[in-house]
Amino acid sequence: MTIGSNFNYPADIASQSPRKKRSADNKWQATFPGPPDLCFDYRTLVEQENGVAQATDTHHKICIIGAGITGLTTARELHRCGFKNITLIEKSQRIGGRHLTAFGKNNTRTYGRPPFEMGAMRMPFFNTSAEHPKEGRSLMAYYADAFELVHSDFPNPGSPTVRSTGIYLREGSVEGNDEPTLLVWKNTDGKTPPPGTALSTVFAKWKIFAERMTLKVSEHYGAERWDDMWAAIVKKYEGISFRDLVKMPAIDTWTHDDPGNFGGMGMNAQESAIFYAIGIGDGSWGAFYDVCSLYPLRTAIFGFSSHLQLIHGRVNEDGTPKDSPYLNALETLDSRGLPFSKPSYIGLGSLAESLLFIKPDETRQSLYEHLVGHRHGLLTSRSVTKLKKLNSGKIRVYYDWNSADPEGAKKEFIDADSVVMTLPSWLIETQISLENFDQKMLPFEIVSAYKTAHWETSCKVYAPLKKSFLSHNTTIPQTIVTDSLIHDVYTYRYNNNHTYDCILLSYTWEDDATKLVFFSDEELVEKCIDELDRILLKSTNINQKISPYIAREQAVVQRWMNDKNSLGCAKLYRAGTYYDAVSLMKYNRDYSHASGLYLCGESFSVDAGWTEPCFRGAIDTVINICAKTQASFNGGFTLRDYPEYRVER
């Protein structure tokens, strides 16, 4: 993150909060920091022996569409509960969805080459500053611990984890310098504000706002009236864009009589323009200026941007994979013998691989072994085309078999008692038809909410970086934030044993990513390198190229809007549409018992771009399927212990 990162307010304040410990009277009560909507500790439920529940209707037929993190988690936890009749359908020839770990051009894995995280790359564990990340009360922390994933602090701009951050705005003249200058911010103690009057002023206005809100939220989170306070915050800010919040007048004090009102940041136009470029969270935030203000507030205030972690994988100290299932297999095959990407257990991709291939303690087989033991267990290269509600109450799932080979595609179907939809909602609208679901099963309002959801574009340009850059270079900052077309540049090292380090040459979102679509991948790589060289050479205090350190031939570009299996990077919501997004999270509790259809994952959440809502959506689905089938919940849990989402229009 940039100017909001040096103090880690949510995690630091949570360490000091008198409410940091869970209530002895309610072990399901969440603690701060955590997502605000459901104050519920999912980890407590999942980390029990046998997980969420013990199935009684073990042959209840469940079909899960999509083998991303959401689909894999849903399948794994249902497997732990004892459900035996599970089908997992994946359109592509790999698992993990928008968790995509690449190893260079053509994604060929070569020893010593570092992984590139082309999708999600930095994980919040929702721990306090006094806790180890894996002690955080999040599902990400639970699974990272369960799968022995190695991690380290992610090198965010402006944070103590980087040697220095370069800030280049308005062609190096943001501070009125006579000559173009790359401002260099060194914040090794975590308390040093950014350099220059203009940046420090913007920083101070953000800090005042963030500190006030975080302090009050941490005091009330999990308390008896927390739901009312969050509802008041939503009412105040759900109709306001982030752009408007930045310019909204600040207030002097917060009052109990108006608990949802924390005012704005009080920035003028010039300050807002600077804030647009350098942001609060994890690089430039200008691309999100026109989303609902609740999205950045959730990100910054509730722990999504504190102590972010880089996942190295299920690896040894030297970065080589630990002995793990199917690591040395010649290939991995689905239930029909079609090959899909075999596990490497390196990088963030190790999370999806562990969910599928690592055996839970309570089961005789891993999820993979259980699924491939059935003809309709794990189906890859299958594209679901239609869901039809039958008179029997079942749902018929139509799919094209071997969709990777259109000439050889065959049309098949299976009938299921419950169908779990984990796909990006634009894929549902454009590629899957829904038939015979009446208004009691799938109201128009729900369909409209996912059809009109906004999916953002994103573009990443990664390349190997010679190790001499981080080892010997003392002039060029480790990370760079700029209002140029490249926007955000990150360099980092996994370990000393990889031949190369990593450079994320450009990380862009929304319009900033869309404007790059014209260029081929090769052209874009060259353009990013040339632009970075131009900035560094023009900056009179740097005057040095970075290009000699970059192995451009192995650069990789990922554009999520152009990915046929995604049609976007993450789902956002505009001002005034927050309640539509929440209604999608409510769907399982309100309608799935009648429809047999479950909406699940980030596509149906309000926290786009993070992995935690994938996990939470998956466990929500497991809870509701268990309730429908009269499973026996573990640990004394009942639906009375499970809070409900509030929608107040």
User: Is 217 within the bounds of a domain?
Assistant: yes
Q: Out of 520, 543, 567, pick the residue that ends a domain.
A: 567
pTM of the model: 0.95
Domain identity same for 559 and 577: no
Q: What is the pLDDT of residue 306?
A: 87
Q: Structural domain tally of the chain? A: 3
**Residue 273, SS3?**
helix
What's the pLDDT score for residue 408?
62
Q: Is the residue at 67 inside a domain? A: yes
What pLDDT is stored for residue 1 in this prediction? 35
Task: Kindly state whether residues 378 and 515 are assigned to the same domain.
Answer: no
The yes-or-no verdict on residue 436 having pLDDT over 70 is: yes
Residue 22 has pLDDT above 70, yes or no: no
Most confident of 111-115, 192-196, 364-368, 572-576: 364-368
Boundary (domain end) residue, out of 297, 328, 350: 297
Q: Are residues 179 and 272 both part of a single domain?
A: yes
The 3-state secondary structure of 144-189 reads HHHCCCEEEECCCCCCCCCCCEEEECHHHCCCCCCCCCCEEECCCC
Identify the pLDDT of residue 283. Answer: 59
Residue 307 maps to a domain? no
Q: Which residues contact 525 (CB under 8 A, 6 or more apart)?
A: 461, 463, 505, 552, 555, 557
Mean pLDDT computed over 41-58: 96
Please indicate, yes or no, whether residues 270 and 339 belong to a single structural domain of this protein: no
Mean pLDDT of 239-260: 95
pLDDT recorded at residue 2 = 41
347 with 285, same domain: the answer is no
Q: Is the dihedral of CA 26, 601, 237, 450 positive or negative?
A: negative
Q: Which residues contact 256 (CB under 8 A, 6 or more apart)?
A: none
Q: Which residues pair with 309 in a beta bridge?
A: 123, 153
Residue 234 lies in a domain: yes
Rounded CA gap, 599 and 419, in Å?
A: 9
- Please state at what angle helix 197-220 crosses helix 269-278, rounded to 10 degrees: 70
Same domain for 543 and 607, yes or no, is: no
Residues 531 and 602 occupy one common structural domain: no
Helix (H) or strand (E) holding 557, with range, is strand 556-559
- Closest listed residue to residue 346, CA positions, set 138, 96, 557, 136: 96
Q: For residue 591, is pLDDT > 70? A: yes
pLDDT tops 60 at residue 599:
yes
User: Do 399 and 469 have their domain in common?
Assistant: no
* Sheet hosting strand 500-509, strand order edge to edge: 183-185, 165-168, 479-482, 488-492, 500-509, 458-466, 556-559
Query: What integer pLDDT is reported at residue 278 of this predicted model?
Result: 77
| Out of 66-75, 273-282, 563-572, least confident range | 273-282
Q: Look at residue 108 and tell me if it is in a domain.
A: no
Asked if residue 387 has pLDDT above 60, the reply is yes
Exposed e or buried b per residue across 175-187, where buried means at least 16 C-beta atoms within 10 angstroms of its C-beta: eeeeebbbbbbeb
Please give the Cα distance from 245 to 225 (Å, whole number). Answer: 25
- Looking at this protein, which amino acid is placed at residue 140? M
* Final residue of a structural domain among 567, 593, 624: 567
pLDDT at residue 515, rounded to an integer: 92
Note the pLDDT tens digit of each residue in 329-352: 999 999 999 999 999 999 999 999
Instruction: Judge if 493 and 549 occupy the same domain.
Output: yes
- What confidence tier does 8 reach under pLDDT thresholds 50, 70, 90? low
Confidence of residue 443 (pLDDT cuts 50, 70, 90): very high
- Checking if the pLDDT of 407 tops 90, the result is no
| Whether residue 444 sits in one domain with residue 326 | yes
Range of the domain at 519: 458-567
- Is residue 368 a part of any domain in this protein? yes
- Percent of the chain residues past pLDDT 70, beyond the cut: 93
Domain with residue 498: its CATH number is 3.90.660.10
